Amino acid sequence: METEYRPRHPLALRATVLYQRRGGADPTMTIDGAVIWRASRTPDGIATLALRETAPGTIRGAAWGPGAAWALAQLPALCGADDDPEGFDPGENRLVAEAHRRNPGLRLSRTDLVFDALASAIFEQKVTGMQAFGAWRRIVTWCGERAPGPTPRPMFAPPSIDGWRRIPSWTWHRAGLEPPQARTVAEAAQRGDALVRALENAPGDADRILTSLRGIGPWTSAEMRIRAFGDPDAVSVGDYHLAHEVGFALAGSRTDDDGMLELLAPWKGHRQRVVRLIGASGVREPRRGPRMHPEDHRAR
């Protein structure tokens, strides 16, 4: 199945859609030349989606699998069509204003796939990106489902909720995911269908619903809302680097979570947008201290 999408706004396709990729070897997303490939498990079944900008302002989409129609219908949201920057004012901060001017096509993508977004966020709790992405790649490849269509390399859709629930403890261990994260994914999957319904019916109440679950705090809730719902105001409090980066960009020095929230307060309602603009600005705090050392519990 194919479709053509012509956004009514400037769109930086790669910067918008590839935010959903979990590391360079993510088995659910890859790039082949000008084409972005994405495998997902939709409510109608698995689907492979291929996106390509065929002309300025024209996105061509092709999809394969039982969920192809759903994936094509959701394509505009994936490309940021539901992101409404109305009312966003970069204000007098030169860095934010310049980043906003230079990146008119940066939109907030949403997948509308609640459990996949939650599971991938749990994988990234309190570990390095290298650890989280490696464990995600192994689990999805081993326990997911092969994506249909002429993918440039083997790709896989994540497991179903029941599939997440049935992953045995030794598979989590071999994949390199820490036991607390593995337990949190499994426990969330135990009530996964009800959880998905509750979040889809009341997305504005997502933070309260998610943080009521054991092992899920504000950081995981924010990360899930950013990916699944494109929440323009979500801030990942508790992140290892984010407060430092925001503090350096907006105030010239690192800060803590409380300081970050204070700095972002003028953009209430669009704080995630400002975080993304800071990322797009290229401004980074110089790294002086030791890097976080990844631990591999499989060798214990």
Residue 213, domain extent: 83-229
Q: Which tens digits make up the pLDDT trace of 216-240?
A: 999 999 999 999 999 999 999 999 8
Q: Is 159 inside a domain boundary? A: yes
Q: Which tens digits make up the pLDDT trace of 241-285?
A: 999 999 999 999 999 999 999 999 999 999 999 999 999 999 988
Q: Is 261 inside a domain boundary? A: no
Question: Is the CB of residue 132 less than 8 Å from the CB of residue 22?
Answer: yes
- What is the amino acid identity at position 73? A
Q: Is 141 inside a domain boundary? A: yes
Q: Indicate the number of domains in the chain.
A: 1
B/e letters for 130-159, b = 16+ CB within 10 Å, e = fewer, are ebbbbbbbbbbbebbbebbbebeeebbbbb
- From CA 265, how far away is CA 233, in angstroms rounded? 10
Q: Is 9 inside a domain boundary? A: no
Q: Is 52 inside a domain boundary? A: no
Q: Which tens digits make up the pLDDT trace of 65-101?
A: 999 999 999 999 999 999 988 889 999 999 999 999 9
Q: Is 94 inside a domain boundary? A: yes
Q: Is 40 inside a domain boundary? A: no
Q: Which tens digits make up the pLDDT trace of 167-199?
A: 999 999 999 999 999 999 999 999 999 999 999
Look at residues 96, 130, 132, 292 and name the one whose alpha carbon lies nearest to residue 219.
132
Q: Which CATH number does the domain housing residue 98 bear?
A: 1.10.340.30
Q: Is 250 inside a domain boundary? A: no
